[in-house]
Structure 1
């Protein structure tokens, strides 16, 4: 994705008015396309800058627990940050590579250095945008730093939506992961990506008191009544999307294999994103101009022409021309075909 398109996509996501935990992962994904890095992460903070929650490309409960503990402590890196240094500045200090934070939270995961951008609402700290790179790789350039700083207002706007209550419709498809749970609801085996979906299902936050044992204990409390009642399907909404859990009896395994046993169940967890978010993600993949993508998103969501004209800032004839151009470029002829293309899981 080109830089201009990525920045426009990030701004569009921020304007959706959805909870920040729904849109921030996709915003980070768009940002990673234009600022090469090991990974981009976001940290929600309280007004004093203390960590409250994280979004990482993967979730390693033990690492997040150590991250929160060490940032709150007095090790070298935490002290440098509290002195007012940015992560980019702190990473250049000799204390950084000697710190427990570097050795427990960076080195094991291939992180050599980083660049951070504080996200503020007025004078209050609301979050931290962080990009990292592997050891012995080039530091972030001035241009890359300016680009990371330029998207800070979009992240501030996304966080502001957390105070707005709005109805959400959900897309027909979503992410999935399969776990095996025993008769007590304990997770005995889990597939790739299960941590992120469990976090969403538990609506969990990773603060300074977070621990991996508490995380899986909460999962047991979630699954135990479902397994006991043999409740085949249950759905509920969180800030992260609509969660659906389906239970299936686990077949007895062959000798020596894990994943089955008396009372064991397969738990399929699915997270469906808000329809507005899925539409924004889907149109970003289309070979259209930025303005055409915005019009296509409104068409998929079924917004009336007056709303589209007002929000995009165009007239009726221009809207008609955009619609005709979009359909011609995508070789389709109806809103239903456009929606199917955009919302395909």
Structure 2
């Protein structure tokens, strides 16, 4: 790819590989910065899947026929990893993986400068890329982890390790790393303050982290709203701010929070002093649910607790939940998800 103002020395991405990735994403209604989780079944929904798979296999076979070793780099390959693993199965080649880990906060600041993504949106985007690698990359593939921050301190040492792993020699000058082009630097000992706690843990443990796909899929409504917000040029305000505005309406009320969902974690942060009771359908008299620093109790306690409003942190099933909760209260029932759309 050609140089740009952000990277005057140029990029290492192969333009045809980028084109394949872009076409696959676009065929599914996404772009490189979309917040979405794509497994192999999802990717195969694309009408271009098989055409692009054959194109990728053919192109790599041509490269391998001319070169003993071929390297590929494109961040899109992270979120499209199941597709590329299918491509690699068709090749008569040994696959080695170089994982480059840079502090998430530094990446987020770069995305803020270049793409005007705020910190929370950028953090979710980073999480999805890293989580896909941790979840889908086969453990049978030899891999090496390069910490970006260590390259700054010991470029020659990192290069020797990388050359040994790949069994190659390099004629690249030893001063390839230019600090003036590193626009945002963060110590790797600094924990990321963005995203949910379980996401921060995964980023710290990458690439040896466990990835809970169920938790990721539970954020589907949250991601849908973020994608909608950032898909409009004149509407870059983060959905987190919308939730904060929503919560402001209830900070002087006595609030019962329903639903121990990920959305509830944000509302708890905004309404902590106003919440007089947290309940969840899965809780019972003998079993309360501890999440986000709160205990969620059985819904029957709603009748025994003085309150002004019930704020529902569960997405979907609105009519069903209104019917259910109306059996416990005559006070207003409001749904936090309404501020997301």
TM-score, normalisation: structure 2: 0.25
- Structure showing the higher strand proportion among its residues: 1
- Bigger RCO (CA 8 Å, 6+ sep): 1
TM-score, normalisation: structure 1: 0.25
